[in-house]
Structure 1
Amino acid sequence: MTSTAPNPGLGPIMLVDDDPDLSAALAASLELAGHQVIAHQDAAAALAGLDRRFPGVIISDLRMPGLDGWQFFAAVQALDADLPIIFITGHGNIDEAVSALKTGAYDFLAKPFDPDRLLASVARALEKRRLVLDNRRLAAIAANAAPDPLAHLLALAGDDPAMLALRDRLTALGDADIDLLILAEPGCGRDRVARAVHDRSRRRARAFVAVNCAAIPAEAQGLELFGQPGPRGARGRLAQAEAGSLFLDNVDALAPAVQLRLVAALDTADVRLIAAATAWPDQLQPDLQIRLGGVRLAIPPLRQRRDDVLMLFGQQAAQAAQRLGQPLPPISASVRAHLIAHDWPGNLAELDNYARRFVLGLADDGPDLAEAPGTSLAERLARIEAGLLREALERHGGRIEAVTAALSLPRKTLYDKLARHGIDPRRYRRPGTSRPPLP
């Protein structure tokens, strides 16, 4: 086996050709375009390196000694009928081309062929392969979907380093009975993280009482939290949370007098206070700030953990399909592009709304229905531009040269735009593998 030089990029491409000179030239052309190439001169060896998880495309000669191209093709189809294979041959004719395409080959090129035509075919085949694998992941997520009572854990899902750190902090907190503050944008699942904190504590068997402070008029907040005095008075939320946890979302919306009363009441109540705000609430009374300042859990917005979007979408779509009694549809190319390119300003809440529309077959119906009202034209254009930049980076594996060519942008202009939108191209680069030089 001979493998080609490591370029992070669009591949991988498995190249199978027994002509070492042609193979080296073809590999160099593919790598120049940004692909990772794994080259074999023997079809049997190539087959040994394949499985259903292979994320790329196969380019194979038809006429080879030993296991020829047709036998190799039959073995690949038996392994994974959705794995794209592009045939190249110096002995091609129309009959062979038609036969190859009818039996499931992705494309057929007779030597000599235009390199640009091969690159275009490879690009389309890779996009098809990504879509196939994404739909398989979606189906796997659906098959293992958690029932709705555990849906709050979705806010803690993902492999982004910030989410891994958040889960580690929750594990470390364990039964530590300490008040804490959750900092996150709206739609990030602050209530679900709060519930997860409660469920991991020694108070898990007692009440978890949630209050959205911003939804209660200031004059009614005291009655809501502390209840109505007297034998016939209603119990307030604080009393309902006795021996359990009280979650105050948008805690910064509490009136100052209610804050002071809350601090005094917590001194004598057996209640764990979990609060949430979008940012550190400077307007809180000092005693309440001190009480909440010991432990802070930060949930990153969805735009900062884009690698988790597809997995989260899969979980939400699977749960939506269960709730709605609908089959889970396959992801289309336009849905996949939207998942990659969109900023998700509404975070998990917006993604959940999109997942429901997807299950109902409405995901491709015009502009995003979750667009925030009052968004200016400049803001919408900026989001569109950021989405196009991310889509190009994803398509070209973070390679700046390829992105500048695809978008017809000077290098400096591209970097300026990336900086303006807070986009790091390094997040889109795919790792390559090293190889010995060609003989």
Structure 2
Amino acid sequence: MHTATRGTVLLVDDDPMIRKATEKWLQMAGLEVLTASSAEEALPHLNEDFRGILLTDVKMPGMTGLELMEIAHAQIRDLPVILVTGHGDIDMAIQAMRDGAYDFIEKPFVPERLVETLLRACEKRNLMIENLRLQNDLAVRSGLDGKIIGISPAIQRLKRELLASAEIDTNVIIYGETGSGKELVAQCLHEFSPRKHKRFVPINCGAIPEHLIESELFGHEAGAFTGASKRRIGKFEHADGGTLFLDEIESTPAHLQIKILRALQEGQIERLGSNQSIAVDIRVIAASKADLKEDENFRQDLFYRLNVTQLFLPPLRERSEDVPLLFMHYVNQAANERDRDSRQLSNQDEKILRSHQWPGNVRELKNVAIRFALDNRVSLADLVNGQQIPVSSEDVEHKPLPLAIQVAAFEEDIIKRSLQRHQGNIKAVMDELELPRRTLNQKMTKFGLNRSDYLD
């Protein structure tokens, strides 16, 4: 039976006995292993399709492991390379790490330590590949795919039904939970319809006081009621030729449902305070959280007038495979709007995104994504759990933050600025800040900083 591997390692060593023993250790640890007896033999593997990491001896006949690393990095940016060195090569290995090596292992090495290092490198490599996939997926999306983000079967079915409904130009009811994106679907119905060059006019029927909603929908003449100092054009009239979106239509008062039904049947409206009929040509898209057919307070004749086509928008908890892609869409959007570098997701972050139930649906996810994009000090786990780290000393009752938090924020800012100045050149940052490589690595990990985010 085929089992998934924990990663792929390209093992390069000219000693056949060491190569064979190392290959066996790595395979026992769940790693897929490709072997090469020389750097020259390894080169064909190092192309854009290679998804693994490189483990290479340094001293070999012909091309050395250091030369192989240089070529590998030219082919695959940020490829994790682990060097195997002799006892007297420590200074050389440290210099190699400054030049971009992921780590080095000194001979004779302990197999458990080697495996541990390789698994960490594979996790980093897999994370880089997944983030690149998400970025590429978002970059190539256009048209409807660029507006409704998702790859799940439910979303793919929704897109097909949406496009079919858009062309028919009939009334539609969209069902979906609060925050699931019903207005976005309605906008897409309009934009892909023959009415796309006319207005899309949305109104939330549940957000307007009952004594004002009739005027909002149908308009009024001056003097029609107290406070009506001048004529007002209602949403029906304003949407003439285009699309009227009635969100939360289930909250519409009973007497107003009759007027909406008459307007749809006759294609005419009357402003409050007027006896003159005004012809309107509109498409109505209604949205509801509940089944209107089962709602005792909703007129069935109006339901059947609206219910020419139905679209069902699934909640996020039923399409977990869409969540990371949708989340990164909003992270990138927030970062671009504020001219900031986009944060990346770790493997643990993706697990958190997929396992959370998202009771607020897309609206909740978007809010979390924006905060995640703008505050590197707060973890995704804290955001999802409703815990937020204050970003300044004035955020909590004007009390100063603990010294450790202020010092950490100061350190993070200094390292960020240095990375930006040197465009991700780790050696230059080490020299400027006079930090050893290990210390800098620890601090970058602590603050969630990635060298690749600052490359030119």
TM-score, structure 2 length as denominator? Answer: 0.67
| Residues 119, 185 of structure 1: alpha-carbon distance in 2 compared, 3 angstrom cutoff | farther
1:94 to 90, 95, 118: 90
1:274 — aligned with what? Answer: 285
| Residues 70, 368 of structure 1: alpha-carbon distance in 2 compared, 3 angstrom cutoff | closer
1:68-147 superposed matches below 5 A = 68-88=64-84, 93-133=89-129
Give, in angstroms, the shift of residue 268 of structure 1: 1.8
| Residues 79, 293 of structure 1: alpha-carbon distance in 2 compared, 3 angstrom cutoff | same
Secondary structure of the corresponding residue to residue 368 of structure 1: helix
2:375 — aligned with what? Answer: 361
| Residues 45, 199 of structure 1: alpha-carbon distance in 2 compared, 3 angstrom cutoff | farther
Q: Give a deviation string over 1:31-86, Cα, whole Å, max 9, x none.
A: 44444444444533433233356443222233445544233212112223411011
2:10 to 14, 26, 43: 14
Are 1:235 and 2:233 an aligned pair? yes
| Residues 229, 202 of structure 1: alpha-carbon distance in 2 compared, 3 angstrom cutoff | same
1:347 to 352, 358, 361: 361
Structure 2: how far apart are the matches of 1:356 and 1:162? 25
Give, in angstroms, the shift of residue 362 of structure 1: 5.5
Is contact 1:228–1:234 with CA below 8 Å preserved after alignment? yes
Is contact 2:372–2:383 with CA below 8 Å preserved after alignment? no
Secondary structure of the corresponding residue to residue 205 of structure 1: coil
1:256 — aligned with what? Answer: 254
Give, in angstroms, the shift of residue 212 of structure 1: 1.0
Secondary structure of the corresponding residue to residue 158 of structure 1: coil
Structure 2: how far apart are the matches of 1:40 and 1:278? 60
Is contact 1:209–1:245 with CA below 8 Å preserved after alignment? yes
Which deviates the most, 35-44 or 347-356?
35-44
Structure 2: how far apart are the matches of 1:276 and 1:214? 11
Are 1:285 and 2:299 an aligned pair? yes
Q: Which runs of 5+ in 2 are unaligned?
A: 225-229, 268-280, 388-456
Structure 1: how far apart are the matches of 2:172 and 2:258? 17
Is contact 2:175–2:291 with CA below 8 Å preserved after alignment? yes
Counterpart code for 2:260:
L
Is contact 1:142–1:319 with CA below 8 Å preserved after alignment? no
Which deviates the most, 240-249 or 79-88?
79-88
1:216 to 197, 208, 214: 208
| Residues 42, 352 of structure 1: alpha-carbon distance in 2 compared, 3 angstrom cutoff | same
Structure 2: how far apart are the matches of 1:64 and 1:358? 46
Is contact 1:350–1:370 with CA below 8 Å preserved after alignment? no
1:166 to 153, 158, 163: 158
Secondary structure of the corresponding residue to residue 257 of structure 1: helix
| Residues 213, 72 of structure 1: alpha-carbon distance in 2 compared, 3 angstrom cutoff | same
Runs of 4+ in 1 over 6 A off after TM superposition: 137-146, 334-337
Secondary structure of the corresponding residue to residue 121 of structure 1: helix
Q: Give a deviation string over 1:163-210, Cα, whole Å, max 9, x none.
A: 222222233334211211222222232211111110111111112110
1:404-423 superposed matches below 5 A = none
Secondary structure of the corresponding residue to residue 187 of structure 1: coil
Structure 1: how far apart are the matches of 2:233 and 2:74? 67
Structure 2: how far apart are the matches of 1:304 and 1:12? 32
Secondary structure of the corresponding residue to residue 15 of structure 1: strand
Secondary structure of the corresponding residue to residue 303 of structure 2: helix
Structure 2: how far apart are the matches of 1:203 and 1:330? 39
Structure 2: how far apart are the matches of 1:7 and 1:91? 37
Is contact 2:205–2:213 with CA below 8 Å preserved after alignment? yes
Structure 1: how far apart are the matches of 2:19 and 2:365? 44
Is contact 2:199–2:241 with CA below 8 Å preserved after alignment? yes
Q: Which runs of 5+ in 1 are unaligned?
A: 373-439
Equivalenced residues, count: 363
2:180 to 188, 204, 207: 188
CA RMSD of the aligned region, Å?
Answer: 3.7
2:190 to 190, 198, 203: 198
Give, in angstroms, the shift of residue 132 of structure 1: 4.2
Structure with more relative contact order (C-alpha pairs < 8 Å, separation 6 or more): 1
Secondary structure of the corresponding residue to residue 383 of structure 2: coil
Structure 1: how far apart are the matches of 2:24 and 2:173? 54
| Residues 342, 20 of structure 1: alpha-carbon distance in 2 compared, 3 angstrom cutoff | farther
| Residues 276, 136 of structure 1: alpha-carbon distance in 2 compared, 3 angstrom cutoff | same
Give, in angstroms, the shift of residue 276 of structure 1: 1.7
1:58 to 54, 60, 70: 54
TM-score, structure 1 length as denominator? Answer: 0.69
* Greater Cα radius of gyration, structure 1 or 2: 2
Counterpart code for 2:344:
I
Structure 2: how far apart are the matches of 1:35 and 1:263? 66
Is contact 2:181–2:362 with CA below 8 Å preserved after alignment? yes
